[in-house]
Structure 1
């Protein structure tokens, strides 16, 4: 069968491998669709400290159950499913307090073990989610990025009437925008430095957009809020140098959600944090958010296919990687059709 394998940084190709067998407690999924994520690009570039090569990447995917391992109940051959990539031990401190997405022994499908950019993949039965009526396999392949959005918004604990400022209108910023609207947040400002991304943010319901280089964002926020500041700020740009500006723009009792893995230090002005009693929260992966996202998709309150800019065949995937490397402004979410 075919698989997209990264053998080393910048060394990747579609290759032939053996079909895996469904192990006890696992399910063999015939992959239909998979999305290319920025995290996949980091692996390809060698910027992910957790990955071990060679690796079949891909953590956003959906498909059909082809085989069921021993001891698996409630899952049948032919079921339409999507896969939560977060694998946790269930015993460590984070798992014991209900935070398995930061498990001490965390594994991520597509990072620590082979993922969805292959025609068939073995996954733990506990990570399998059935698709509700009305959610297609193409849309279901995008549940994972929306789970990221649901997780960071949950960590920020929105209150009714809160305004939200999103830094960055890439895929994660746009999923946060859509998820926030689905959860009832009405006043949402999005900032980016690429006009096409800001156009998309407005199409998807942003109340307003600001250009990070042409507009005075702090002045605009001050005018919008009569100097009070923004209660919710989501950092989907993941640029450490922006943190001081976020601290200044946050309202008293504001919450800032951080998503980036950039190891560069950020300047943190303690006075800004203390005088406003700000809350800075990290958000990694998702904490059991797949059911919530699937319910919102089934109800029509989320439209994941609005994010898709390219639908490509599996054989076209190397070209898609090249496009994302050299012309990222041309793409939003790239969806790869692997099977039918």
Structure 2
């Protein structure tokens, strides 16, 4: 079968013929419906240095945003339907620790002992015609479109988890939420905030097209650049926002969010661009919280799928055949995508 493989450090991935995998005990073989291309993939093969924190040694199949139809059951697997459509929860922890027992494999206490972090993150992912996944990691999609659903497992799950943790800050009338960075995750964050809260959603980016799409989803948009913080505070009546979500995580975006916060607010850094935050008693709003999150839980993903099936959220996708899978990554690197690139291995 064909697959997109990360083979060497600082090397563009290859479209390679590899052996079709077989499911082991407790696993299923999925015929891949869709696999989302994420900036994290680019960081894996392009930015990380061998042995650096966060680096994952090659070689393996990319793709941690996956959906598919169950093709074959491994030994001992019950409770899933052959031919049924499922979304795949990407992280894979030890399955034994406290974090994994609550479905939060992202914070596995034994991660240092694991040979991989998840599907497409050390373990072969879904940028292939077929993939193997633990049955525990499957979330049923029912009759919902599995191709368009593929990005939900990261591009929706990650902002959903961050927003869910911030819901107490957005409960009640007259609340304001700030979304910085309107790529795939930021666009989903706007939709999730509009569905789950009554807050006024302020969205900001440097790209005019991205802001137009966020505005169409119900956000009040503020262009990046000079006067950005002043405009955000003007919208809030000078008080600042009650919750902010930075999907970039660079120094300037963190500074913008920090300068936009109200007292007793919550600022979540989701993007991993390496920015830092400087705290001071007299310049940080009283009782405000600065935190970060990484991905989400299996339970969160079930809730994300429920929102998708109810029509509350809808990822914007650009579809690519397996023949054009590397073009999807080229466009991702070049910043030429408007929606989430989804590779459809069995596209007619």
Partners of 1:225 and 1:237 in 2: CA distance: 22
Tell me, yes or no, if the aligned pair for 1:247 and 1:272 is still in contact at 8 Å. no
Tell me, yes or no, if the aligned pair for 2:250 and 2:272 is still in contact at 8 Å. no
Q: Equivalent residue for 2:238?
A: 227
Q: Equivalent residue for 2:87?
A: 82
| TM-score, length of structure 2 as denominator length | 0.90
Unaligned runs of 5+ residues in structure 1 are none
Tell me whether 1:312 sits opposite 2:320 in the alignment.
yes
Partners of 2:266 and 2:103 in 1: CA distance: 21
| Alpha-carbon distance, 1:329 to partner | 4.1
Tell me whether 1:333 sits opposite 2:344 in the alignment.
no
| Alpha-carbon distance, 1:73 to partner | 1.1
* 1:170-215 Cα distance to aligned partner (Å, 9 max, x none): 1111111111111133411111111111111112221x1111115x
Partners of 1:180 and 1:22 in 2: CA distance: 38
Q: Equivalent residue for 2:225?
A: 213
Partners of 1:42 and 1:185 in 2: CA distance: 35
Q: How does 1:41-56 map to 2 (within 5 A)?
A: 41-47=42-48, 49-56=54-61
Of residues 18-27 and 87-96 in structure 1, the stretch that sits farther from structure 2 once superposed is: 87-96
Distance 1:187 1:25, change over 3 A: same
- What is the RMSD of the two structures over their aligned residues, measured on CA atoms? 1.9
Partners of 2:99 and 2:146 in 1: CA distance: 32
Distance 1:104 1:241, change over 3 A: farther
* 1:277-330 Cα distance to aligned partner (Å, 9 max, x none): 1112211011221111111111111122xx12x21111101122222222x144
Tell me whether 1:189 sits opposite 2:189 in the alignment.
no
1:121 equivalent among 114, 118, 131: 131
Number of corresponding residues: 332
Q: Equivalent residue for 1:323?
A: 331
* 1:207-226 Cα distance to aligned partner (Å, 9 max, x none): x1111115x12211222222
Partners of 1:280 and 1:79 in 2: CA distance: 41
Tell me, yes or no, if the aligned pair for 1:240 and 1:264 is still in contact at 8 Å. yes
Partners of 1:36 and 1:270 in 2: CA distance: 41
Partners of 1:209 and 1:329 in 2: CA distance: 21
Tell me whether 1:294 sits opposite 2:305 in the alignment.
yes
| Alpha-carbon distance, 1:96 to partner | 5.8
